[in-house]
Amino acid sequence: MSDDIQSEGCCKPCDGDHDHASEPRLGWHEYFMSVAHLIAKRATCTRGHIGAVVVRDNNILSTGYNGAPSGLPHCNETNCKIYRSVHPDGTVEENCVNTIHAEINAIAQAAKHGVSIKDADIYITASPCIHCLKVLINVGIRTIYYDKPYKIEHISELLRLSGIRLVQINVHNI
Q: Considering the domain boundaries, does residue 16 fall inside one?
A: no
Report pTM: 0.81
101 assigned to a ligand binding site: yes
- Average pLDDT estimate for 20-35: 88
- Rounded Cα–Cα distance for residues 128 and 114 (Å): 24
pLDDT digits (tens, 9 = 90+) for 43-82: 988 778 999 999 999 999 999 999 888 887 676 666 667 6
Q: Considering the domain boundaries, does residue 19 fall inside one?
A: no
Query: Quick one: pLDDT at residue 5?
Result: 45
Which residues are registered as beta bridge partners of 167? 145
Q: Tell me, what DSSP letter sits at residue 67?
A: B
- Active site annotation includes 8: no
Query: Quick one: pLDDT at residue 69?
Result: 85
Catalytic option among 93, 94, 103, 157: 103
- Rounded Cα–Cα distance for residues 117 and 98 (Å): 25
Q: Considering the domain boundaries, does residue 59 fall inside one?
A: yes
Contact between 36 and 147 (Cβ < 8 Å): yes
How many distinct structural domains can be found in the chain? 1
Q: Considering the domain boundaries, does residue 152 fall inside one?
A: yes
Q: Considering the domain boundaries, does residue 149 fall inside one?
A: yes
Query: Quick one: pLDDT at residue 71?
Result: 83
CATH of the domain at 132: 3.40.140.10
Taking 80 as the threshold, does the pLDDT of residue 122 lie above it?
Answer: yes
Query: Quick one: pLDDT at residue 6?
Result: 47
Provide the domain limits for residue 113. Answer: 26-67+98-166
129 assigned to a ligand binding site: yes
Contact between 98 and 68 (Cβ < 8 Å): yes
Q: Considering the domain boundaries, does residue 2 fall inside one?
A: no
- Rounded Cα–Cα distance for residues 139 and 54 (Å): 11
Positive or negative, the Cα torsion across 79, 81, 87, 91? positive
11 assigned to a ligand binding site: no
Q: Considering the domain boundaries, does residue 3 fall inside one?
A: no
